[in-house]
A = this chain, B = another copy of it.
Amino acid sequence: MDTRTGLPVVGMVGAGQLARMTHQAAIALGQSLRVLAAAPDDGAALVAADVQFGDHTDLAALRTFAKGCDVVTFDHEHVPTEHIRTLAAEGVKLYPGADALLYAQDKRAMRERLSALGAPVPRWRPDAADLASFGDEVGWPVVAKAVRGGYDGRGVWMLDAGSPLPPGVELMLEERVPLRRELAVQVARSPFGQVAAYPVVETVQRDGICVEVLAPAPGLPEELAVAAQQLAIDIATALGVVGLLAVELFEVDGGLVVNELAMRPHNSGHWTIEGARTSQFEQHLRAVLDYPMGDTTLTAPAVVMANVLGGEPGGMSIDERLHHLFAAEPGVKVHLYGKQVRPGRKIGHVTALGDDLDDVRERAGRAAKWLQEGSLRPRESQ
């Protein structure tokens, strides 16, 4: 407990933009998020009062960090499962726990477990041993995934018949699902077992990176929206998740297929900061603190979040770009992560809200493009 405020202390391992925005939400709840940062210029380390430095794979660093925290949670999935188990055995409260987090860390374990639960998943193989026969069965190309450690399109390969396997990485195989589009649904679950679901969103990817999120997913039949929320609630409950769970889905002919799971605030939920009555960051804190969940209602009929990726170096500074953007779009909300600009790196996001999806989407897209490129010329690589 923080003796200055009489409130419990939440620690977050990792100090990227998720921790940064969680700290923002923590302030309203009377909290100050404690973060374990790798470097002083990590997004959250730049803005939080309570920063410790250390490696998230170092048990001793984690142990020191956890001391004085009432609950420890995560900005990413990369803390070794065995360290989480060790700390839990030593009495540290960690959410999500190792038994749940495993399914966000290990894609093979996730596929096994979801299959056993009867959740809709692509056809898959636990390793690459029978690539040829699997490809002949499900059709080429086949999706090969790193069992651990992939994100934002990294750790995923499309293999044609006879393709060499990517070297030095433990692989599993999945069929390439003939998808209509990608959806995502966030739920939060508390230790008490309360679960709250956000509206289902559409996520738009480019080169394996999410560039845009549309909330609510346009034209999604009500029964499919409810099915997606129920699926996420069932998964959160079955896996014993505490905190946020993001379920990434493929919409296919005849229904839904689970793509990935994340157990933390997630890029597909950034729209909730302005677009839902309770942001995913506040919700994650409420969940790990075992507070009752907040209202997940939309605040506008149409909400669009667009990621801002780092553009080519040179040209207008971010500060100048902000000036122009705010002049052109006084209603677009900007979130910058305090990161040095590198091409392709997520350096922030923008959110637009309104009554008309097309209008909102155009405003968000234009704002993101402007921050990214400092120019409104058509993107060459589109």
List the interface of chain A (C-beta within 8 A of B).
4-8, 20-21, 23-24, 26-30, 32, 41, 45-49, 51, 277-278, 286, 290-295, 297, 299-300, 317-319, 322-323, 326-327, 330-331, 333-341, 348, 353
Contact = CB atoms under 8 A, between A and B. Distances in A.
Contacts of A353: 277
A334 B5 CA distance: 15
Contacts of A341: 6
Contact of A46 (B4, B293, B299, B331): B4
Contacts of A297: 331
A26 B21 CA distance: 11
B45 A319 contact: no
Given A4-B46, A293-B326, 19 more contacts: A4-B41, A4-B340, A5-B336, A5-B338, A6-B341, A7-B318, A7-B336, A21-B27, A28-B333, A28-B335, A30-B318, A30-B336, A45-B49, A46-B49, A47-B49, A277-B333, A291-B323, A294-B326, A294-B331
Contacts of A30: 318, 334, 336-338, 348
A-side binding surface: helix, strand, loop or mixed? loop
Nearest to A286: B326
Contact of A334 (B29, B299, B300): B29
Contacts of A317: 6
Contacts of A6: 317-319, 341
A300 B46 CA distance: 33
Nearest to A340: B4
Contacts of A334: 28-30
Contacts of A323: 290-292
Nearest to A25: B24
B46 A48 contact: no
A7 B312 CA distance: 18
Please indicate which of the listed interface residues A28, A293, A323, A353 has the most CB atoms of chain B within 10 Å of its own CB.
Answer: A28
A299 B28 CA distance: 19
Nearest to A328: B292
Contacts of A295: 330-331
A20 B29 contact: no
